[in-house]
Structure 1
Amino acid sequence: MTIARPDHTSDLDTLPRMPAWVTSARAETFEDVAFLSGAALNHLHLVLGREEVPQALLRDRLALRAAETCVAFSGRSERAGELRDAVHLLRPGDLPGPAGETYLIWRRAVERPVSIKTLGRALSAFEPDRIARWLDAGKGGPVTRAALVLEAVLTEAPRAEMPALILADAALAQAFGWDHLVPLLAVGLKRADLRKQGVDLRLACHRALISSVVEAVRQASDLARRVTHLKVVAPKLRAKGAGDAVEMFLTRDAVTPSALPLPDRAARRLCDRLVDLGAVRELTGRDTFRLYGV
């Protein structure tokens, strides 16, 4: 018997979709919730292995979402657009402010392969030995490991919510054998969940991962389609340095024209051309200080 393979090459559906039963099932017991989160994570693992997924770009966009959540946890009101401005419009010598620093920390955590060195660079307020000790607290399956790391950090440092979430996602990545940290728990957990312990915290992590993984898979599929289109139109770009500029769009959530390897006027023209071709979007809606992204 020949089994038909799903077509993953369509412009409208470049990646396999999350099974409908993962998102529609109503799970009440710990076992059912854990089963659904495991299915969702397994699906994400397969998606992350697809070459058409722009890994660095996906991580950068998820880092923005995680930073937005952590900023809200701290009682601040900045949203994604303001976080982008705080980081991408920085001038030499400027400080990003508390919200911008939160975003920078998440970006540092995801941009290099996960390691104590990478985590120490992102979480510079903590000694590498302390970070390693917290990560060693994680035992068991992937979600259990992440929950134990989260609990260990918050037990010792109750106000270190963002470091705890970063290290929990690092533990999850290590458990799955992913090279880089993928922000997931910060996107799905509620602040009240961070005060839970034991089984209650593990259950909250399972529930959070179901929703955040579904969103990550949706983002991966959307970015894969957009990046495929950008690569198709790239040969039409005649400006010198256009190839290097396209590479920046393939890895960054947002780019300013001044950051591109072209003269200012040529960079602005290139961005306008890419918008006209439907390959990138202007992200701010402003006439000046614009940001562009896939």
Structure 2
Amino acid sequence: MTFGPPDHISDLDTLPRMPVWVTSARAETLEDVAFLSGAALNHLHLVLGRAEVPQALLRDRIALRAAEACLAFSGRSERAGELRDAVHLLRPGDLPGPAGETYLHWRRSVEWPVSIKALDRALPTIEPGQIAAWLDAGKGARVCRGVMVLETVLTEAPRTDVAALILADTAIAQALGWDHLVPLLAAGLKRADLRKRGDDLRFACHRALISSAVEAVRLSTELARRAAHLKAVAPKLRAKGAGEAVDMFLTRDAVAPSALPLPDRAARRLCDRLVELGAVRELTGRDTFRLYGV
């Protein structure tokens, strides 16, 4: 596989920016916040349709934020670095622990196109029939479907915050015609919001979607630039297997050198070279057990 620099790297600046009136408006009523969340989701829909945006990488990074939020809801303190360690430094036979499991639920939920089978992989402790039944609870307008799924799951299974939020995001993705789930609700909600019902929950979810869509658009622009740079420097890499390694960096939030399709020493050299070229970053700040990402 070969890569070349984008024909017009400056074209990345043409990615549509979220209108200021969406980010600065203060919604006081359910009608107002619903209008703004619709505008924000429509704008995100346009950005997600752009070829410059590394979609799998974007979803994987947003999944990390969703996992952080869910752990905070349950009173745990693990942050992004600890979650990356829990998953990416696992050895065969190791268990990821509760925090790592939460992160894996979210990572698996965004990895495959939306389907009951894919959700069963992400939520293996829930019967596929139950997953389908909860998704069927979503009726009405697009965001309302997600809110109804969230409320139904939280009411019937109060201790399943992660599953409830994954299925609610799934309902919204299906309503918007997206092939993959994009985690949006968890990072924008507060712990107290999960106890709300009816219009109060709808208001909180619309508000969460606005803030998360704004952040997703910002992150899309950032990752599009960084991905373009990685593709531009890829021809300078001499190591055998470098093309496959670049593909991994373009689809994963973090990569351990041991996961790359190269011998250990060659993998570490490749990562160091990519850091020198400004194409990836070392994410841990450690001298050993390092992780790298775009």
One-letter amino acid matched to 1:118: A
In 2, are the aligned partners of 1:255 and 1:293 still within 8 Å (CA)? yes
* Corresponding residue number in structure 1 for 2:274: 274
* Corresponding residue number in structure 2 for 1:166: 166
The question of 1:27 aligning with 2:27 is answered yes
* Corresponding residue number in structure 1 for 2:4: none
* Corresponding residue number in structure 2 for 1:199: 199
* CA shift for structure 1 position 232: 0.3
Q: Distance in 1 between matches of 2:148 and 2:12?
A: 40
Equivalent position SS for 1:159: coil
Q: Distance in 2 between matches of 1:229 and 1:24?
A: 32
Equivalent position SS for 2:38: helix
Identity of aligned residues (%): 83
* CA shift for structure 1 position 76: 1.0
One-letter amino acid matched to 1:227: A
* Corresponding residue number in structure 1 for 2:128: 128
* CA shift for structure 1 position 278: 0.4
Q: Distance in 1 between matches of 2:158 and 2:34?
A: 26
In 2, are the aligned partners of 1:14 and 1:225 still within 8 Å (CA)? no
* CA shift for structure 1 position 292: 0.1
Equivalent position SS for 1:105: helix
Alignment of 1:92-171 (within 5 A): 92-171=92-171
Q: Distance in 2 between matches of 1:234 and 1:9?
A: 15
In 1, are the aligned partners of 2:9 and 2:228 still within 8 Å (CA)? no
* Corresponding residue number in structure 2 for 1:54: 54
* Corresponding residue number in structure 2 for 1:65: 65
In 1, are the aligned partners of 2:12 and 2:221 still within 8 Å (CA)? no
RMSD over equivalenced CA pairs, Å: 1.1
Equivalent position SS for 1:13: helix
* CA shift for structure 1 position 71: 1.0
Alignment of 1:198-277 (within 5 A): 198-277=198-277
Return the TM-score normalized by structure 1: 0.96
What CA deviation, in whole Å up to 9, does each residue of 1:155-202 have, x standing for no partner? 100111110000000000000010000000011111111111111111
Q: Distance in 1 between matches of 2:275 and 2:94?
A: 30
Question: Judging changes above 3 Å, is the alpha-carbon distance between structure 1 residues 11 and 267 closer, same or farther for their aligned structure 2 residues?
Answer: farther
Q: Distance in 2 between matches of 1:20 and 1:186?
A: 23
Q: Distance in 1 between matches of 2:195 and 2:94?
A: 35
In 1, are the aligned partners of 2:105 and 2:122 still within 8 Å (CA)? yes
Q: Distance in 2 between matches of 1:26 and 1:166?
A: 27
Equivalent position SS for 1:252: coil
Aligned length: 287
Alignment of 1:75-94 (within 5 A): 75-94=75-94
Q: Distance in 1 between matches of 2:59 and 2:94?
A: 25
* CA shift for structure 1 position 50: 0.3
* CA shift for structure 1 position 13: 2.1
One-letter amino acid matched to 1:180: H
* Corresponding residue number in structure 1 for 2:182: 182
Equivalent position SS for 1:17: coil
* CA shift for structure 1 position 29: 1.2
Work out which structure has the larger RCO, using CA pairs closer than 8 Å and 6 or more positions apart in sequence: 2
Deviation >4 Å, runs of 4+: none
In 1, are the aligned partners of 2:142 and 2:172 still within 8 Å (CA)? yes
Question: Judging changes above 3 Å, is the alpha-carbon distance between structure 1 residues 98 and 77 closer, same or farther for their aligned structure 2 residues?
Answer: same
In 1, are the aligned partners of 2:229 and 2:279 still within 8 Å (CA)? yes
Structure 2 unmatched runs, 5+: 1-7
Q: Distance in 1 between matches of 2:26 and 2:59?
A: 29
